Structure 1
Amino acid sequence: MIRTILRPLAVAAVLTGCASLPSESPPAAAFVVLGEEGAPVARAVTTASTCPAITIDGRTAPMAVRAPYGAIPLRGKDHSASFHPDAVSNPVLSCETPLPGGAKQVAVAGQALPLPPAEAKRIVVIGDTGCRLKAKEFQDCNDPEAYPFARVAASAAAWKPDLVVHVGDFHYREDPCPADRPGCAGSPYGYGWDAWNADFFAPARTLLAAAPWVLARGNHESCSRGGQGWWRFLDAHAYDPAANCDDPAADERADYTDPYAVPLGAGAQLIVFDSANTNWKGFKPGDMRVRHYTDTWRKIERLAARQRYNIAVDHHPLYAFGASQDARTGAVTLFGGDAGLTQVFGALDPRLLPSTVDMLLSGHVHLWEQTSFSSDHPSQFVAGFAGTAEDIVPLPKTPPAGQSPAPGAVLEAMSSWIDGFGFMTMERTGPDTWTVVVHDRDGKQRNTCTVAGRHSRCAVPQA
């Protein structure tokens, strides 16, 4: 079953009967998510047992419950009470209110929320923002130099965007910090509210207050990982208590969602699609994911036929390089886009995405990258460099002859920035033209690019 997006509801009924309102203590987080057709929804996450009040153009009422008050239930080995004994002591309540078109002022418990403009011309793109605590890889979450997402978020907010696009992987604090690692000592971990707050909501506070958000789901938000928090706090679709990643038996429903479009104005739109549960190794015959992602592609195609200029948004790049290095010889090997999506999408269109898609924004690879093609493929931008431990194997200025990140794609331009934290901005300069800037954690420009239609080119090949 594929979900439908939460549509804006008539709010007149919500904003009546206001004789008894909850207290005005501020929630832990309050922000605006854009769903289908750009419909804005106010969200709040609170450790109180009742939802905060929302004021829309002077009229005040309680927000509605999205997910009920309580600790995020434990599931599986990595969600067990013995693995994460603090999980049951972190109850939280998720609340929401669809916002009416034309609303001028919105506040939650007195905290003003940003509203979408008629035309989004200034867009911040970030991704892979959490602090990695997993297996043998442990980032120093307590060190703002080693984990600078709060600084990145503040610099991005200072750019005054109309819209923030997050390309996925919010939650990284999965395992406990080792006893001999002071740089992450005391960090919350696991899949409860404490880890979600430390990994995303607390460091993102300034940027959440700066503009509405469009949110793509990463593999770290699949049901077997942080999916329970994803559904409670971030997903733009309606919350389904029977398919919210709590029960592994319902994961086939909860791990997939419909693509949706967010209009940018003047004939352009974002198309957000869920790639969280793909497999980088590809799918075996009979894998149910082939059916799900085939359905995803067909719905992307229908959405992309509705506007003249289309920017797809997902977590996994289709047209970008990653790199690995042999520890013994130092040899660098390049690899291309996600094999599972390439397998399914490529069976429907050799170009992978429909011909009406001009650009793809993704994350997953922990760097910044741009690729453009002389063949009929969209420009790809990868913005997975906002907080998570960086990839440090350098990409070449140009790949070896004949090597391409996607089948049949003929590279014409490529640029990258390795081992540097920051954010990307897009400023619209015409119907199908953009100026893209790569900023470091302090907002300083590291590279600039121009986009015209499906082609892009940057000032320097390696920032």
Structure 2
Amino acid sequence: MTTDTSGTCPSVRYTVGAFRAGYQMRLLSRPAPPQFPTTVCELVVPLGARAAVLAQSTVAAAVVHPANRELPLPNWTATTRPRTIGVIGDTGCRVTTPGPDQDCANHQTGWPFPRIAGSAAAVTHPDLVIHVGDYLYRDDPAQATDAAANPGCTAAGDRFSWGCVVADFFRPAESLLAVAPVVLTRGNHEDCRTPPATGGAGAAWFRYLADDLRSNGSCSLYPDPVEIRAGVLHLLSVDSSYADPADSGSITQQAIYTRQFEAVNQAAGQQPGHDYFVVTHKPVWMVRSAGPPPQTFTPVLDKAVGGTTLGRLADNIRMVLSGHAHLYQMIDFDTARPPQLTVGFSGGDPLEQGPNDAAVLGTPVGTPPQAVHHSLTQGGVFGYAVLNRNAGTWDLTSHDPTGALRGQTCTLSRNAAHKEFVCH
């Protein structure tokens, strides 16, 4: 996807086999000022293509990112999978009228996401990046310390405009977007409930970031799950942005999400020998507080999984990746239920401390209740997670904003009946 204000689309040159040619991008939407003063274009590139570059003639007068015009492409085939996956979430710079706010201009002690994105790109060298949601945190852009550097994102009325999408995501993530394809999951900050009446955060999501981009400013509460295939790794994206919006423990939406997870299980049944990850912003089984009683996210999603025909997630769904809670946590159950990984600590404030892991062990979670077997929580710190391919399974690590390893390396078991991380 590329954006400009001209109403025309550029072309992209790439190579397949020994053949190199230019291909015109397809127009998706024209500028809709003042909120969306941009043209949105897309191009479907076949697997195996390489050396994709925006044609010089189409961008000579434009400001281009990345500056070398090279676009990252998958380096896996239909029978392989990514080697290294960077996982980030809840990245926007929090700016509100009442405060307290993050210092968006200070990436060392204020808003760390630009530094995290740079470290993830330079230190981790990912083949794929997964963002588990929440991009736009500038509720009052006029209060932002970096407002002068962000034209189009300087007033309250701009907060879900193209300018604020650039300020909160595209510009700070530029170094990471330049090195690897990115899978984006919608968060509750990109929901349909926020003014202005012309669209809001949800409209910006569906115009610029969603899998199915739109040109009409519409916003859906419960879009269907999306399957994104990275070779023999399948990412099943479930939009939980509107799941229990007050985080009150309500399960009134259970039937809606049961249909969603039924579709997820059906998709996972198509390729039994492949790996599947469920990616959804709100965690299904995360333990926010050990209690008593324990506080968990998100009961309506858990109940929905329990209401499927299987009564659980399919055997080859190996992990659930989420955000929403501003911390890092991995829990597993040593059962057929997949581990829950929560990565909500990549920039947004305020951070959460999280529970004491010793108190979480043995906590009954979910429907039916299953005792937590392993718990690894890092609260009060910023960072990102990495999944590295390891002889048919995955190693999981957590990293601080410099890219340095924090804590243990955990290896995902291969046993479908006893899914757990073994940490060392």
Pairwise same-fold verdict (TM > 0.5) = yes
1:394-434, CA deviations, whole angstroms, 9 ceiling, x for partnerless residues?
Answer: 42022267533424121111111112211111111122x21
Runs of 4 or more, structure 1, over 6 Å off, are none
The corresponding residue for 1:60 is 22
* Aligned-residue offset at 1:441: 0.6
* Aligned-residue offset at 1:277: 1.4
* Conservation of the 8 A alpha-carbon contact between 2:288 and 2:354: no
* Aligned-residue offset at 1:92: 1.7
The corresponding residue for 1:428 is 389
Unaligned runs of 5+ in 2: 57-68, 195-200
Distance in 2, Cα, partners of 1:405 & 1:316: 15
* Conservation of the 8 A alpha-carbon contact between 1:371 and 1:381: yes
Distance in 2, Cα, partners of 1:155 & 1:230: 26
1:177-192 aligned within 5 A: 177-178=142-143, 183=145, 188=153, 190-192=159-161
Q: CA RMSD in A?
A: 2.6
Distance in 2, Cα, partners of 1:392 & 1:297: 28
* Conservation of the 8 A alpha-carbon contact between 1:45 and 1:233: no
Distance in 2, Cα, partners of 1:380 & 1:89: 37
| Deviating more after overlay: 124-133 vs 402-411 | 402-411
Distance in 1, Cα, partners of 2:312 & 2:299: 11
Distance in 1, Cα, partners of 2:35 & 2:335: 55
Q: What SS does the corresponding residue of 1:69 show, helix, strand or coil?
A: coil
Distance in 2, Cα, partners of 1:49 & 1:240: 15
Q: Which amino acid is 2:240 matched to?
A: S
* Conservation of the 8 A alpha-carbon contact between 2:191 and 2:242: yes
- 2:235 is the counterpart of 1:270: yes
The corresponding residue for 2:371 is 410
What is the TM-score normalised by the length of structure 2? Answer: 0.81
* Conservation of the 8 A alpha-carbon contact between 2:361 and 2:375: no
* Conservation of the 8 A alpha-carbon contact between 1:177 and 1:184: no
Q: How many residues align?
A: 378
Distance in 1, Cα, partners of 2:98 & 2:300: 26
* Conservation of the 8 A alpha-carbon contact between 2:251 and 2:303: no
Q: What SS does the corresponding residue of 1:358 show, helix, strand or coil?
A: strand
Distance in 1, Cα, partners of 2:311 & 2:356: 24
Instruction: Quickly say closer, same or farther: Cα 1:343–1:312, change in 2 above 3 A.
Output: same
Distance in 1, Cα, partners of 2:298 & 2:96: 22
* Aligned-residue offset at 1:195: 0.9
Distance in 2, Cα, partners of 1:130 & 1:263: 27
The corresponding residue for 1:370 is 330
1:93-112 aligned within 5 A: 93-110=39-56, 111-112=69-70
What is the TM-score normalised by the length of structure 1? Answer: 0.75
The corresponding residue for 1:259 is 225
- 2:327 is the counterpart of 1:361: no
The corresponding residue for 1:122 is 84
Distance in 2, Cα, partners of 1:156 & 1:320: 24
* Aligned-residue offset at 1:392: 3.2
- 2:347 is the counterpart of 1:387: yes
Distance in 2, Cα, partners of 1:333 & 1:200: 37
The corresponding residue for 1:4 is none
Unaligned runs of 5+ in 1: 1-42, 72-87, 246-250, 325-330
* Conservation of the 8 A alpha-carbon contact between 2:287 and 2:360: no
Q: 1:317 aligns with which of 283, 287, 305?
A: 283
The corresponding residue for 2:63 is none
Instruction: Quickly say closer, same or farther: Cα 1:446–1:333, change in 2 above 3 A.
Output: farther
The corresponding residue for 2:261 is 297
Q: Which amino acid is 1:294 matched to?
A: T
Q: What SS does the corresponding residue of 1:427 show, helix, strand or coil?
A: strand
* Aligned-residue offset at 1:194: 1.2
* Conservation of the 8 A alpha-carbon contact between 1:139 and 1:184: no
Q: Which amino acid is 1:277 matched to?
A: Y
Distance in 2, Cα, partners of 1:332 & 1:67: 51
1:227-285, CA deviations, whole angstroms, 9 ceiling, x for partnerless residues?
Answer: 11111111112x3445x43xxxxx4xx223222333344x4422222111111335575
% identical equivalent positions: 31
Instruction: Quickly say closer, same or farther: Cα 1:207–1:176, change in 2 above 3 A.
Output: closer
Distance in 2, Cα, partners of 1:135 & 1:409: 42
* Conservation of the 8 A alpha-carbon contact between 2:28 and 2:214: no
The corresponding residue for 1:18 is none
Distance in 1, Cα, partners of 2:164 & 2:97: 16
Q: 2:103 aligns with which of 137, 140, 146?
A: 140
